[in-house]
Structure 1
Amino acid sequence: MERLEELRNRLDATDRHLLEVLVQRLEIVRQVADLKADALSFLRDSGREQRLLDRVEEIARELELDPYRSREIFREIIAMSLKVQEEALLNRQRRERSRLAAHRVAYQGIEGSYSHMAARKFFAARSAGMELVGCRSFEAALGMAEEGEAGFAILPIENTTAGSINETYELLRRTPLAIVGEEIFPVRHCLLAISQVEPASLNRIISHPQALAQCSRFLRSLPGTEATAWGDTASAARHVSEAADPSLAAIASEEAANLYGLTVLSRDIADQEANWTRFVIVSAPDEPPDPRIPSKTSLVLTTRHDQGALARVLEIVAGHGLNLCKLESRPEPSRPWEYMFYMDIEGSLAADAVSMTIARIRRECPYLKVLGSYPARTTGEALRDRPTEGA
């Protein structure tokens, strides 16, 4: 039995070596794709593929392997290589489209929404040349960036009162784009109406579902008032202005009140005084930040369903001296009672410790996607705004 176990271990090591060599081959393929993008008008060279398969058969016979199955294995390797080249070319095209539309930022909502204000804050240094484009949904904003109609999309991802925004995480998992930055913004919810009335006299209060959740304690203090979800906070404010109904109010920012001519009935009505929202800026994948810049790298992964699988991943992070600043589990939509894990690691993907950590985690995980590596705003070293101040 000891001899059998030894042979099985050698098989496992050989299988791993085969896969590591395949990774090396695919990296060369990526480099070839970069050259093809500049120099050639075609992606697939059928003649070269045929010559490769013929050579594989010849080598297989020399090595006394089954030439037919060897050829079939390499057909699959060629298919993988073509996929890598296609993705490399698509990423290059996405970067070019993003560059051409770099003056446009897509966000969910209208002027005066928190997403609009966060975008204005993030791009303040080049505000003169930026166009902020409101969209009906998070998905529509991201879609503009994916189609090259905007260079960037800004999406809220978590709030200090209501927690993570599930829709954004799911969109990030599916998009070919990447997180390239983050911003934090203080959320100061106000109750707005067409004129000065008592809050208890209101029949209905409208706002974005996240805003309603963040003000749940205040809403419970008005038992005779109905809370209704709306597209975004600023749209709710605009509707109150247009409706001119004194029994109708909105939860939105004071800036929205000024924009749409409303009266502020109550300020700072969120459940927590320090109420902040973190936004991510999404665009075509770019080079990771210089390791000297305080940065964050975000991942989504699944682990094997065996004892200690997640613990091994966390040990890898700790073993490279990195700080795990976020870990959250989310259900896998197609697999009941199985979970994905979203992780934020302090550090840039350009840093050896981070790149080595992710390489090792990949070996432990059936699925891993890097959502982005980007300058941080919420790590201790990079925090410019202070959520402990009044919000």
Structure 2
Amino acid sequence: MPPTTYEILDLLRSAPEGELELAVRSDGRLVALLEPRSAEGPFCAARSLHANLWTPRAIRAGELPGLVLDPLLGVRADVLKERLPPPVALRLALDVLTGLDALHDAGDAHGALCPSAVLLDEEGRGRLVVLGPEPGPLETRLRYAAPEQLEGAASSFAGDVWAVGVLLHEWLTGAPLFEGRGWEVVARIAADDPHARRPAELAPLAPLFERLLARAPGERAEDACAAASLLIELAPRVGGLASREVVRAYLGPDWESAVEAQRTRLQTAQAYVRSMQERSPRADPPSDAFPLPDTFTGAIALTPTMDLDWRGPLAALRGRARRTFGAIRPRALRARGASVLRALRARGASVLRALRTGGASALGALRPRAAWARDAMRAAAARGRRELGRALAWLRERAERR
């Protein structure tokens, strides 16, 4: 079975874990491919695929494991800086608890819940991000860590419940529950009373905060389901739960503009995929698009409307060669170059066959494009040969030095 390959189309958005890019899988499906910033992990998919969870569908093999996800539009919750009305804050907290309940039901604890771990999607729903690597900087995550976690305890359901309590307090008041930086935050979590800073207008929610922010893990709600039940019971005291329309209105123009920009990129990518599937004249893909193989030895397949720029693939090739020098030999590099040139020749032959059978009218319209494609492929092949020659010379020089 041939390896799965991915053709990168455009950058959807930047995430704390890395760059999230729109890509077409070799079976024609449009997916989001997360290229992590480092190899730290573990990278794993949650065992639950609940609607309130955003978790990988697959893991792409390679030196830096890529995560294959659904192309979900949204912005991380750390953009929420202002105080939210209680119905809106409770609705988002209930979304987080619903996702946590699915995670807890599968036997997993999140362990790193913070605003960066909540994605506000285009519907105004708060989705729990479960990608494996811990989201956000350590200093931010410390603000939401339970007291027992700061003492070395492992992640637990009770620790997740505490983090939801800190998040909810922050959304309702517009200020962090524990102020300070670095070890000052740790000292405040260990010594301060989490209930002392709660405003008087939140008194109707006191029973909820007592079960979320109890210092002893055994006194907290036993899991996300119990916390969600108590939240639903107490919500009518402060105006109930906001609808999705109200939530979207309070998320603000920054969220709306970011989601709209992502929607435009997604629609462009969807049009490109449809044109590929229908074998019609293709929508123009982004000029910096180039295919990304599932592994280093995967085949590269170029499309005729693609910008034939060798700089991106060769930069990746040089980077891999530097990182794995000793495992790569000039012979393997020559084989790689030969496979690329064969793919170029095969693609050029298929384009010429299509031009010959297109009819007189189609040929008249396609002659300028065919000439451009032919010249571009020749120029790209020449550049490729030159760059491959330089790469081989560099590898030989390094080998001789060793």
Please classify the TM superposition score into its range, dividing by the shorter chain length: under 0.3
Instruction: Choose between structure 1 and 2: higher strand proportion.
Output: 1
Q: TM-score w.r.t. structure 1 length?
A: 0.24
